[in-house]
Amino acid sequence: MRKKQIVVTVVVVAIMGYLYSLPVKGFLKPKENQTNTAAAVKKPAANITVAAVSATAKQALQPSFVEQITVLERELAAAPGKVELQKQLAQKWDDFGQPAPSAFYYLDIARKSKAFADWLIAGKQFNLAYRMSQDTAAQGAFVVNAVEAFEQATKLQPENLEAKTGLGVAYVNGGGMPMQGIALLLDVVKKDPNNHDALLNLGMFSMKSGQFDKAVERFKTMVSQKEEVEPYFYLAESYKQLGKKDEAIAAYERCKDLMGDPVAGQRIDEYIKELKK
C-alpha cells in the first residue's frame, strides 16, 4: 500500500515539475554527431553511490522500515558482494517504493551475472528513479546507469520490446540523443501498437515538446485499453494545453475517481477549479 501511495504522490504532486522543468531543446531537432553509446550522456557526479542514495531514501521511511534495511546492510558489510543479500536489499527497497538504491543493487548484480533479466530490472529501476528524483546530479547518474543496463540487455535480446522501450526512454532523458530514443519508442509502437510503456513515454515526450495533439492520441489509446491514473492525468493536462476545458475536466475527474486518495483528490480539484474560472 505504501508503494501505491508513493506512486500517486509522484503522479499528482511532482509530475508537472518532471514534465516542464526539463529542457525542450533537443526534442525537435537532433544534435550533431550523436552516437549509440552512453558517452553522449553527461557523466554523473562521483558521489552518487548506493550509500548516498540509500541515506537519502531512508529519510522518507518510517523507523521500522529503516531498521529492516539497516540489518541487511550490516549483513552485506560482513559479506561484501554476496549476491543473495544484494537481491534482498534491492527487493526490500523496491517494496518500500524507493527505486534508486534498489537500482544500484540490481546493477551490481547484473554486472556480475551478465544476465538479461538482471540488466532489464536494473535499467527499469534507474528510469523510475530518474522520474522520482528532483536532484539533477542524481538524475545524471541514473540516466548513465540506465543506458548501460538497457544497452547490455538489448545486446543480449535485440528484439525485446521492453528493453528497447527502456533504452529509448533513457536516451531521451539523458538529453544527448533524444531523436534516437524517440525512434526506438516509435519502432516499439510500430511492432506493438498498444505497448503501454512506449505509448506513455511517447505521450509524455510529446507534451514536453509542445505537441499536445499527439500526446492526446497516445493517452487516449492507453485509457481505451485500461483506465489508469497516470495516463488520465497526462490526458487532462494535454487537453488543458489545447484549450479543451470540458475534455480536460472530464479527464481530471476520472483521474481523481481512480486515485481513491482524498489528499491527491484535493489537488486535482484545484486544477478543475482553475479550468472552470
Each residue's pLDDT tens digit, 228-249: 988 999 999 999 999 999 999 9
Inform me whether the pLDDT recorded for 22 exceeds 90. Answer: no
Burial of 18-53, coded b for 16+ CB within 10 Å and e otherwise, reads: beeebeeebbeeeeeeeeeebebbbebeeebebebb
Residue 132 pLDDT grade (very low, low, confident, very high; cuts 50, 70, 90): confident
Chain centre distance of CA 160: 19
Cell of 149: 543496463
Work out the number of other CB atoms within 10 angstroms of the CB of residue 148: 21
pTM assigned to the model: 0.82
Task: Determine the pLDDT at residue 30.
Answer: 38
* Structure-model confidence comparison of residues 174 and 105, the more confident one: 105
Task: Determine the pLDDT at residue 208.
Answer: 87
Inform me whether the pLDDT recorded for 90 exceeds 70. Answer: yes
Inform me whether the pLDDT recorded for 250 exceeds 80. Answer: yes
Cell of 264: 491527491
User: Residue 1: how many CA atoms within 13 Å on its side-chain side?
Assistant: 2
Phi, psi of 59 (to 5 degrees): -65, -20
* Structure-model confidence comparison of residues 92 and 27, the more confident one: 92
CB 201 within 8 A of CB 27: no
CA R_g for the chain: 19
* Structure-model confidence comparison of residues 119 and 204, the more confident one: 119
Chain centre distance of CA 237: 18
CA-angle at 182, arms to 192 and 124, nearest 5°: 75
Distance, in Å, from the CA atom of 242 to the CA atom of 211, rounded to the nearest integer, reads: 10
Task: Determine the pLDDT at residue 53.
Answer: 96
Distance, in Å, from the CA atom of 77 to the CA atom of 68, rounded to the nearest integer, reads: 15
DSSP string, the chain: -HHHHHHHHIIIIIHHHHHHHS--TTSSSPPTT--SSGGGSPPPPTT--HHHHHHHHHTTS-HHHHHHHHHHHHHHHHSTT-HHHHHHHHHHHHHTT-HHHHHHHHHHHHHHH--HHHHHHHHHHHHHHHHH---HHHHHHHHHHHHHHHHHHHHH-TT-HHHHHHHHHHHHHHSSSHHHHHHHHHHHHHH-TT-HHHHHHHHHHHHHTT-HHHHHHHHHHHHHH---HHHHHHHHHHHHHTT-HHHHHHHHHHHHHHH--HHHHHHHHHHHHHHH-
Task: Determine the pLDDT at residue 28.
Answer: 41
Percent of the chain with pLDDT over 90: 68
Task: Determine the pLDDT at residue 33.
Answer: 41
Residue 150 pLDDT grade (very low, low, confident, very high; cuts 50, 70, 90): very high
**Mean predicted lDDT score pLDDT of the chain:** 86
Inform me whether the pLDDT recorded for 36 exceeds 50. Answer: no
CB 100 within 8 A of CB 146: no
* Structure-model confidence comparison of residues 215 and 3, the more confident one: 215
